[in-house]
Amino acid sequence: MKVLYFAWVRERIGLPREDIETNAATVAELVTELRAREERYDLAFSDMDVVRVALDQELSELGASLVGVREVAFFPPVTGG
Amino acid sequence: MKVLYFAWVRERIGLPREDIETNAATVAELVTELRAREERYDLAFSDMDVVRVALDQELSELGASLVGVREVAFFPPVTGG
Amino acid sequence: MSVSVQLEDFDVGAEITALSAGRTDIGAVVTFTGLVRSTAGGQDISDMELEHYPGMTEKSLAKIEAEASTRWSLQASRIIHRYGKLLPGAKIVMVATASPHRGDAFESAEFIMDYLKSRAPFWKKEGTAGGGKWVDARDADEEALDRWD
Amino acid sequence: MSVSVQLEDFDVGAEITALSAGRTDIGAVVTFTGLVRSTAGGQDISDMELEHYPGMTEKSLAKIEAEASTRWSLQASRIIHRYGKLLPGAKIVMVATASPHRGDAFESAEFIMDYLKSRAPFWKKEGTAGGGKWVDARDADEEALDRWD
């Protein structure tokens, strides 16, 4: 599964994208898995209130299923315009 | 007193401006005076609901006083923009 | 704040550039441009003749602009209104407003257009197959003012 | 309806001309332009770095534009958003909408900007004396969406 990070989430994790092998059924499970891996993930995902997620380039929710999903992206609330 | 006409008021009266000697105290009195003068004025001012008036280039009302006024303008409701 | 009543066409991009030239405090610029349409009420329009009241026109536009700048945080504004004979597709009017924030820029531009439509002394005459026809004022334009009370 | 996400600057006047080129049915064009300000919250800003999510960005802007055209009588629309490093005074974003009527052009442009602000995947980092600082999302921007429900 392709996982992308943007803005300060990217900076905290230290890379813009990676391929991750996971059996996580939901976004929340994937986050838990990543936080257990290394401190930089734990730091990036310490407050999920300020992290947004997109599944295959559509805004989604923490509880959403990852079945069939090819691309997950984590980022802060958007600030364009 | 300088009197100006615009749009179809101008067309009905047949001229864009004229100097008028009058003792009319209000706009309404001036209109009555003009209507009595000639049919073209009577026609232009037959329905005062669709005629607007400006005194010295400020929108005003039929009942307004003409004391001290130098320029009166009659025209239809505006349609610019 | 500036107002022009003119025969000539104008360039909206150049007007935006002029509004914001040399300054870095503007966050939002909104422009409205009104164009001559080739049909009105199902009828073909060959041209549009715009008459105005020189002197009063400039005063009334400046007054509308000044009123907008008391109601919103405006850093700059510009009103251009053409008169004379215009063909379908031609620009008639432009309003531009600049503010630190987008809400103020949008609202003030709408306010200026609403007041201009019902208070600035312009009159449109449409050229049709049956001859010239003065455009009637629309009740909706007068009613549009109510929301700004 | 068209969307561009680009490094390059753009010309609002040229975009309006392109929207209305060769047609005489448009009565109203509204544009919004967002610019980089040199201060934010009392702090000096030396530059603004804009990051985005290529692929999702274009899709989300196209979706917002499509939604606007189901809600209002839109004849044409255009969204341009820049990314990369921008200096104070630089244009960031432009939205243009064209409609037979001014109300639709104004409302749809505001709608597009409100949704873009809270739904399009862009992130701003301000350059300050103390280093780069990611801009926080504003509650007011999220709340601005409520009026379109």
Q: How far off is chain C from D43, nearest CA to CA, in Å?
A: 12
- Residue D42 — very low, low, confident or very high, per pLDDT cuts 50/70/90? confident
Interface check C59 vs B, CB under 8 A: yes
Q: How far off is chain B from C38, nearest CA to CA, in Å?
A: 16
The answer to whether residue C142 scores a pLDDT higher than 90 is no
Half-sphere exposure of D99 (CA within 13 A, CB side): 21
Interface check D118 vs A, CB under 8 A: yes
What is the model's pLDDT at position D1? 85
Q: Which residues of chain C lie closer than 8 angstroms to B6, CB-CB?
A: 51, 53, 121, 123
How far, in Å, CA of D15 to CA of A64, rounded? 40
Q: Which of D35, D38, D102 sits opposite C29 (nearest CB)?
A: D35
Q: Which domain holds residue C17?
A: 2-148
Of D14, D21, D119, D13, whose CA–CA distance to D75 is shortest?
D21
- Residue C42 — very low, low, confident or very high, per pLDDT cuts 50/70/90? confident
Contact flag C113-B81 (C-beta cutoff 8 Å): yes
| Ranges of each domain in chain A | 2-75
Q: Could you tell me if the ipTM is greater than 0.90?
A: yes
Contact flag C116-B80 (C-beta cutoff 8 Å): yes
How far, in Å, CA of A80 to CA of D93, rounded? 9
Q: Specify the residue for token string 């005003």.
A: B60
What is the model's pLDDT at position C125? 98
Q: How far off is chain C from D144, nearest CA to CA, in Å?
A: 10
Q: Which of B8, B10, B78 sits opposite C121 (nearest CB)?
A: B78
* Mean pLDDT of the C82-88 span: 98
Beta bridge partners of B72: B3, B55
Give me B6's structure tokens. Answer: 């615009």
pLDDT in tens, C93-106: 999 999 999 999 99
What is the model's pLDDT at position C41? 84
Query: How would you classify residue A36: left for phi > 0, otherwise alpha for psi between -120 and 50, otherwise beta?
Result: alpha
Q: Which residues of chain D lie closer than 8 angstroms to C31, CB-CB?
A: 12, 29-31, 33
Q: How far is CA A22 from the centre of its chain?
A: 13
Domain count of the fold of chain C: 1
* Mean pLDDT of the D25-35 span: 98
Q: Which residues of chain A lie closer than 8 angstroms to D134, CB-CB?
A: 7-8, 76, 79
| DSSP H stretches of helix in chain D | 12-20, 56-71, 102-119, 139-143
Look at the pTM and tell me if it is higher than 0.80. Answer: yes
Nearest CA in chain C to B57: C56
Give me A19's structure tokens. Answer: 């391929």
Task: Establish, for the pair of chains C and D, how many residue pairs have beta carbons separated by less than 8 Å.
Answer: 101
Average pLDDT, chain A: 97
How far, in Å, CA of B26 to CA of C39, rounded? 41
The answer to whether residue C1 scores a pLDDT higher than 90 is no
Q: For a pLDDT cut of 90, what percent of chain D falls above it? A: 92
Contact flag A80-D135 (C-beta cutoff 8 Å): no
Just give the CATH number of B2-75. Answer: 3.10.20.30
Q: What is the DSSP letter of D46?
A: S
Indicate which CATH number applies to the domain containing D88: 3.90.1170.40
DSSP H or E run through B27:
helix B27-37
Non-local CB neighbours of A21 within 8 Å, separated by 6+ positions? A1
- Mutation for C interface: D102, D107, D116, D118, most C CBs within 10 A: D102
pLDDT in tens, B9-64: 999 999 999 999 999 999 999 999 999 999 999 999 999 999 999 999 999 999 99
The answer to whether residue C92 scores a pLDDT higher than 90 is yes
Vertex C63, ends C58 and C67: CA angle to 5°?
150
